[in-house]
Chain A
Amino acid sequence: MLEARNISKSYPTPRGPLPILNGVTLSLASGDAISIIGPSGSGKSTLLYILGALDPPTSGEVMLDGRNPFTLSDKDVSEFRNRQVGFVFQDHCLLPQCTVLENVLIPTMVGTDKNGTGKNGTEQRAKQLLDQVGLSHRLDHRPAELSGGEKQRVSIARAMIRDPKLLLCDEPTGNLDRHTALQVADLLVEINRTSRNILVVVTHSAELAGRLPKVFELVEGQLVAK
């Protein structure tokens, strides 16, 4: 269960604080998949980062399964992001010096092995995920050898390696052509369906937004259901 209560965020500027979010409230359950749309600069990514505990709100609170990550210590909030949240960025942010398999395993090299799966277990999962995203034949390849869509699929697999409760995507198809974007969109939906995570996608793409059951729009700092 993800709950965002009365989230406000403003950024300091020389002319005084600039309000971006103004009392956003959101409640999502396991298996929910939403898209957030809005004009450029409306605060979509800001809201995403607050939900993912990457950026604290000016006021309000976020609770995931009853835990407010912003009240945790640095160590615990890292652990929180490592285990509970998966991120997919517009620019895939793959490590160019690591292979596809290694990129997926990056999050498993830190944090605790609460599931007790061990090294072999995580590697097995990584391969399964890559198989799921259609890249099982590219395990030893480096990002420079992949297309944009393939890179984004790797970043999705990476985001899912810890089976997080929350999958946050910031313009995941922004750099992709339409056909590839639809493939990625379908993949996200499929993963949401199978893993029953909470999927939040920030996007400009009406097509991508249309693939998800719920659409919200950020207007003047407020989240409005469409």
Chain B
Amino acid sequence: MSLVRRSLQYYWRTNLAVVLGVATAVAVLSGALLVGDSVRASLRDLILSRLGKTEAVVTSAQFFREQLAVEAPGAVPLIVMQGVVTNEKNGRRASKVAVYGVDDRFFQFNGYSQSPPLGNDARLTPELARELGTGLGDTVLLRIEKPSAIPRESIQGRKEDSGRTLRLTATNDAPEFALQPSQGDVSAIYLSLRRLQRDLAQQSRINTLLLPAAQFPKDKITLDDLGTKVRALPSTLSIETSSAVMSDALVAIVQHAAGGNAKPIFSYVANSIRIGDREVPYSIVTGLSNELPADGIWLDDWAAKDLNAKPGDDVALDYYYWEPSGSLVTRTANFKLTKILPMTGIAIDRDLTPEYPGIPGAQTIGDWDPPFPIDLKKVRPRDEEYWKKYRTAPKAFVSLETAQKLWGSRFGKVTSVRVEGSDAAAFSQKLRALIDPQMLGMAIVEPRAPALKQAEGSTDFGEYFTYFSFFLVISALLLTGLFFQLGIGQRLREIGTLRAVGFPTAKIRRLFISEAMVLSIAGVVAGSIGAVAYAAFLLYGLKTWWRGAVGTGLLNLHVSGESLISGAIAGVLIALLCVLATLRSLKRSSPRDLLSGNRAVEENPKRGTRWLRIVAAFAILSALALVGAAFARSIPDAGAFFGAGTLLLFGVIFFEWARLRGQIGTVTSVVRLGIRNASHRPGRSVLVIALISSAVFLIVALDAFRRPPVAASDPHSGTGGFPLAAESQLPIFWDLNTPTGRENLNLSSVKDAKFYAFRLRPGEDASCLNLYEPRTPRVLGASQAFLGLNRFSFTETTSKAENPWLLLDADPKDGLIPAIADANSITYVLHHKVGDVFDAGGLKVKLVAALDDSIFQSELVISEKNFTRAFREEQGFRYFLIDGPASNEAPLEDALSDYGFDVISTPARLAAFHRVENTYLSTFQALGGLGLLLGTLGLGAVLLRNVMERRKELALLRAVGYRSQHLRTMVIAENAYLLIAGTLIGTVAAMVAILPAFLQRGGHLPNPSLALLLFAVPVAGLAVSLIAVRIVARAPLLETLRAE
């Protein structure tokens, strides 16, 4: 033991270098892992702090009673929406702003110090205030969608004026509350709950409850909360909904509750009932009974007389129908009159028609402001008399099946259900017991657990930074091994002496391993401290220079023992492996060799050199084969050339190794002598060349993967040939490609634009811009018109198809909806592959194709047909791809500002995604460059060691007349040869690797800063050589020549 201690002390200089090498490797490995921990912990902290005290949330597709907050202990009522906020003074606008209607209960619940906003006051979060440039007291305009119980996409739904603008006075310092995880700053506005309820015409109603515990008395939820009501009629009950249409599921439950005594009814407005040239305008037609044949119609007596009708007559019904694509069309259905009903019973039952808004209070037909155009000139005094007497009683009846076929939509095919009975309360109770609130859009979710899972993140930064720091680790370990080896070399005579006095080899190995263990442990301790510093440095980088990779500055350092220990163990193990490899090489040396300070000479050096040449030749031939395959178009260019470059790198390094084992050139000058000296220790020299050339190769070649800007015009590029993309905060219902649509939305200033509209289920960003793992990704519903275009490119599909988009058309098999996503999102964010099945937030999808680097990286795309089936509550269009001039961007935003219409150029959208990738590349190149420089500087120390080992030679040269400048020239020549050889080999191989990308960019060289790095490496190395030479020049050389 004391021998180990003495040796450690005596050779402290070399040992210090070994410790530093191990410390660097451990610092880098542990530091990289700490970065991953810190990002995850920061994301966790963010979401937990933003959730406040919320343990569960009750959300609903429709507004429900605020009273529920009183009935659930500790619950907090609020209204949660999304809106667009504009600073009235400077016109700046922010979209996707979270809108919270709150009162003091919200602030008390979360323990916020701020007081609730009252009246016209609005609290803005600092991020929103910054984005808008608002100050205290500024006026802001909040634009939100007015809730509509009646689906806007139904004939009775209002499509215009779907938004509401509130003028508010801004105060800042709003709390950073959020229910959804997001790494960016919170952009939110808080206003008075009462004010918002009043403006939305939802007095005493809310759409969200925050709960302090994951418990909620579901029995307190009433039918009214679920938008359902049971109305007592003279001899029956009528089950209706606030949306004026009932889903199939609800109808089934009502039928079950009624025990088979339920009659579904479907009432609709006909523009006219015609027989010949006689017509009755604006009448209710009810699908009621299946007694009628499919093309049969009953008219009430009033209509029959008006039309002069008799059974057997042909009756035409004209009616409006709202096309899902966004246009109002008039259709006609033809029937045969089978019966004329007397004005009793169902013929005068006005309750067969739902109570649409505006109808109950309308005294005349003219008073009613329907959500579709009517020609009041057609309304005759006779019609107004009917209205006065019979109101909304139907004038015609068709079979239920026919009514459902003609007028049914995804929202439902029944407007009410008649049930026998008179006790509305009892039936309500029975019905309520059978309804699961979730079925009608009311859900209770516990946000913490999923959010914490999402905070694990889609991107493992620990893993990424381990890869990025690869060269730093390699450089550090290489130097560790080299310095240990140098230390051994320094002590060869000592080892020989120990052998000569009887120490067995195993004992000597144990001594050195003990020393190595002590050095490694010292390195680990120092490295663990360094790890924290390295992680802090990387996090600083992520918040500043590399912010493009994470999109947030809200990252803090979290130190976890697990990562420190992992890095330490890895560092120690690898360092010990280096040491064992070094000790193994001594086995061959005899004590005599060791005593004379030499290692054993290789038995058959020529054989070893021959093998090196064979391997080198094989690698180079393989490289040529790959290039040939690229020209023959057998494999993609990028892969072929990168592979060729890599093989070329290996091949040339092996050739150089073989060359160094022989004689390099002829020694006819001091410079050539210096170059020849590189073959003195060929293994060491080739390590230098290999490290430098590999680092240069990777750093330069990776630049090939940097995404260049994409032209918008190519239909097979990532933009699909669309110059513009847009997203609307408020849904747009009109088809923007029709004159009516353009007129309704005031798009006259927009020229030559063609719109491809998508439906949108809001959700989490599925791209690399989102650090949180998306569990409910955004989903787009693509129209048939878009699918037929066959634009964009695909990397993979589940089956061969000329137009892979059409794979989305398939009906769901086993409940799986076919979906397409971008390849980057599939692999790196969702962690799936084409063909996989997964739950995309309540939607079971199967990935049928992957897009190639497209603008769809934030979402999944399904067909509009499947979308409307899956997302009944999502209406209108909110995402658009726009053909036409890019100059339409500003006119579109202006014209549709009321909808919060944000337009972005598609190249800019792609560039935002590319920024993340390119930032990762820059990070790798920066850290790789750091590793390269570290290696270069460390190798300078190795050079110094080399020179010190050859002091006797240098002394001899001085003795035969060489001057200091000759020795300097020789040393510099040797080092320059290694550095330049390494840089040249790496650069040439890299240029081969990136040739396709180089040509694609029109011959522009990679990132200019790379040239600087490549220049810095040899310069740094040469500078270190000069230092080494200076030290040598000052050392007394003559003592080494003495015999005594």
Residues in chain B near residue A75, CB distance under 8 A: 963
Residues in chain A near residue B1038, CB distance under 8 A: 49, 54-55
A109→B1041 contact, CB < 8 A: no
B1043 at interface, CB cutoff 8 A: yes
Cα A170 to Cα B960 in complex, Å, equals 14
**In the complex, what's the smallest C-beta–C-beta distance from B625 to chain A, in angstroms?**
37
Q: Which residue of A45, A81, A99, A105 is within 8 Å of B961 (Cβ)?
A: A81
A74→B677 contact, CB < 8 A: no
A74→B959 contact, CB < 8 A: no
B667→A102 contact, CB < 8 A: yes
Residues in chain A near residue B663, CB distance under 8 A: 99
**In the complex, what's the smallest C-beta–C-beta distance from B603 to chain A, in angstroms?**
13
A89→B1043 contact, CB < 8 A: yes
B670 at interface, CB cutoff 8 A: yes
Residues in chain A near residue B952, CB distance under 8 A: 91, 93
Cα A102 to Cα B1038 in complex, Å, equals 23
Known: A52-B959, A89-B1041, A106-B957. A97 touches B679 (CB 8 A): yes
Smallest Cβ-Cβ distance to B957: which chain A residue: A106
Cα A98 to Cα B956 in complex, Å, equals 14
Cα A66 to Cα B774 in complex, Å, equals 93
B525 at interface, CB cutoff 8 A: no
Q: Which residue of B667, B676, B956, B957 is within 8 Å of A105 (Cβ)?
A: B667
Instruction: Give B contacts to A, CB under 8 Å.
Output: 601, 663, 666-670, 673, 676-677, 679-680, 952-953, 955-964, 966, 1038, 1041-1044
Listed A/B pairs (15) with beta-carbon separation below 8 Å: A54-B959, A55-B1038, A74-B963, A75-B963, A78-B958, A78-B963, A82-B960, A89-B956, A90-B1043, A91-B952, A95-B953, A95-B956, A110-B670, A119-B668, A170-B1042
User: Which residues in window 77-122 of A have CB below 8 A to B?
Assistant: 78-83, 87, 89-91, 93, 95-99, 102, 105-107, 109-111, 119
A111→B667 contact, CB < 8 A: no
Smallest Cβ-Cβ distance to A87: which chain B residue: B959
A111→B961 contact, CB < 8 A: yes
Instruction: Count residues of chain A with CB under 8 A from any CB of chain B.
Output: 39
**In the complex, what's the smallest C-beta–C-beta distance from A154 to chain B, in angstroms?**
12
Residues in chain B near residue A80, CB distance under 8 A: 961
A32 at interface, CB cutoff 8 A: no
A174 at interface, CB cutoff 8 A: yes
**In the complex, what's the smallest C-beta–C-beta distance from B977 to chain A, in angstroms?**
13
A sample of 11 more A-B contacts (CB under 8 A), given A99-B663, A110-B962, is A54-B959, A74-B963, A74-B964, A81-B959, A89-B956, A93-B1041, A95-B956, A102-B666, A109-B667, A119-B668, A158-B960
Residues in chain A near residue B676, CB distance under 8 A: 97-98
Residues in chain B near residue A158, CB distance under 8 A: 960
Among B676, B680, B956, B958, residue most surrounded by chain A Cβ atoms (within 10 Å): B956
A171 at interface, CB cutoff 8 A: yes
What 10 pairs across the A-B complex have the smallest Cβ distances? A82-B961, A90-B1043, A93-B956, A171-B1043, A107-B960, A97-B680, A81-B961, A102-B667, A78-B963, A78-B961
A18 at interface, CB cutoff 8 A: no
**In the complex, what's the smallest C-beta–C-beta distance from A142 to chain B, in angstroms?**
9
B959→A110 contact, CB < 8 A: no
A14 at interface, CB cutoff 8 A: no
Q: Which residue of A78, A89, A97, A102 is within 8 Å of B962 (Cβ)?
A: A78
A110→B966 contact, CB < 8 A: yes
A109→B668 contact, CB < 8 A: yes
A98→B960 contact, CB < 8 A: no
Smallest Cβ-Cβ distance to A204: which chain B residue: B1043
Cα A176 to Cα B524 in complex, Å, equals 49
What is the number of contacts between chain A and chain B, taking CB atoms within 8 Å? 83
A45→B1044 contact, CB < 8 A: yes
Residues in chain A near residue B964, CB distance under 8 A: 74
Known: A40-B1044, A90-B1043. A110 touches B961 (CB 8 A): yes
Residues in chain A near residue B669, CB distance under 8 A: 109
Cα A192 to Cα B318 in complex, Å, equals 132
Among A82, A87, A110, A119, residue most surrounded by chain B Cβ atoms (within 10 Å): A110
**In the complex, what's the smallest C-beta–C-beta distance from A133 to chain B, in angstroms?**
17
A98→B1043 contact, CB < 8 A: no
Residues in chain B near residue A111, CB distance under 8 A: 961
A98→B667 contact, CB < 8 A: yes
Cα A75 to Cα B963 in complex, Å, equals 7
A41 at interface, CB cutoff 8 A: yes
**In the complex, what's the smallest C-beta–C-beta distance from B641 to chain A, in angstroms?**
38
A144 at interface, CB cutoff 8 A: yes
Cα A79 to Cα B956 in complex, Å, equals 14
**In the complex, what's the smallest C-beta–C-beta distance from B2 to chain A, in angstroms?**
28
Residues in chain B near residue A98, CB distance under 8 A: 667, 673, 676
Cα A52 to Cα B958 in complex, Å, equals 12
Cα A87 to Cα B962 in complex, Å, equals 13
Known: A93-B953, A119-B668. A81 touches B1042 (CB 8 A): no
Cα A40 to Cα B1043 in complex, Å, equals 10
A144→B1041 contact, CB < 8 A: no
Residues in chain B near residue A105, CB distance under 8 A: 667
Smallest Cβ-Cβ distance to B676: which chain A residue: A97
Known: A75-B963, A93-B953, A97-B677. A170 touches B1043 (CB 8 A): yes
Smallest Cβ-Cβ distance to B672: which chain A residue: A109
Known: A96-B680, A109-B668. A91 touches B1043 (CB 8 A): yes
A41→B966 contact, CB < 8 A: no
A45→B957 contact, CB < 8 A: no
A81→B680 contact, CB < 8 A: no
Smallest Cβ-Cβ distance to B664: which chain A residue: A97
Cα A49 to Cα B959 in complex, Å, equals 9
Residues in chain A near residue B673, CB distance under 8 A: 98, 106, 109
Smallest Cβ-Cβ distance to B671: which chain A residue: A109
Smallest Cβ-Cβ distance to A93: which chain B residue: B956
**In the complex, what's the smallest C-beta–C-beta distance from B589 to chain A, in angstroms?**
14
**In the complex, what's the smallest C-beta–C-beta distance from B595 to chain A, in angstroms?**
13
Residues in chain A near residue B957, CB distance under 8 A: 106
Cα A158 to Cα B955 in complex, Å, equals 15
**In the complex, what's the smallest C-beta–C-beta distance from A36 to chain B, in angstroms?**
13
Smallest Cβ-Cβ distance to A155: which chain B residue: B956
Residues in chain A near residue B966, CB distance under 8 A: 110
Residues in chain A near residue B958, CB distance under 8 A: 54, 78
Cα A107 to Cα B960 in complex, Å, equals 6
Cα A113 to Cα B649 in complex, Å, equals 43
Cα A64 to Cα B341 in complex, Å, equals 147
Residues in chain A near residue B963, CB distance under 8 A: 74-75, 78, 110
B1043→A83 contact, CB < 8 A: no
Residues in chain B near residue A74, CB distance under 8 A: 963-964
Residues in chain A near residue B959, CB distance under 8 A: 52, 54, 81, 87
The 0/1 profile, CB within 8 Å of B marked 1, for residues 142-177 of chain A is 001000000000000010000000000011001000
Cα A158 to Cα B957 in complex, Å, equals 11
**In the complex, what's the smallest C-beta–C-beta distance from A31 to chain B, in angstroms?**
23
B670→A109 contact, CB < 8 A: yes
Smallest Cβ-Cβ distance to B950: which chain A residue: A95
Residues in chain B near residue A49, CB distance under 8 A: 1038
Cα A96 to Cα B1043 in complex, Å, equals 19
Residues in chain B near residue A102, CB distance under 8 A: 666-667
**In the complex, what's the smallest C-beta–C-beta distance from B914 to chain A, in angstroms?**
51
Cα A99 to Cα B964 in complex, Å, equals 24
Smallest Cβ-Cβ distance to A142: which chain B residue: B663
**In the complex, what's the smallest C-beta–C-beta distance from A204 to chain B, in angstroms?**
9
Cα A11 to Cα B525 in complex, Å, equals 46
Residues in chain B near residue A87, CB distance under 8 A: 956, 959-960
Cα A93 to Cα B962 in complex, Å, equals 15
Residues in chain A near residue B961, CB distance under 8 A: 78-83, 107, 110-111
Cα A16 to Cα B673 in complex, Å, equals 42
Cα A83 to Cα B667 in complex, Å, equals 20
B960→A106 contact, CB < 8 A: yes
Q: Which residue of A41, A55, A82 is within 8 Å of B1044 (Cβ)?
A: A41
Smallest Cβ-Cβ distance to B964: which chain A residue: A74
User: Which residues in window 33-73 of A have CB below 8 A to B?
Assistant: 40-41, 45, 49, 52, 54-55
Residues in chain B near residue A78, CB distance under 8 A: 958, 961-963
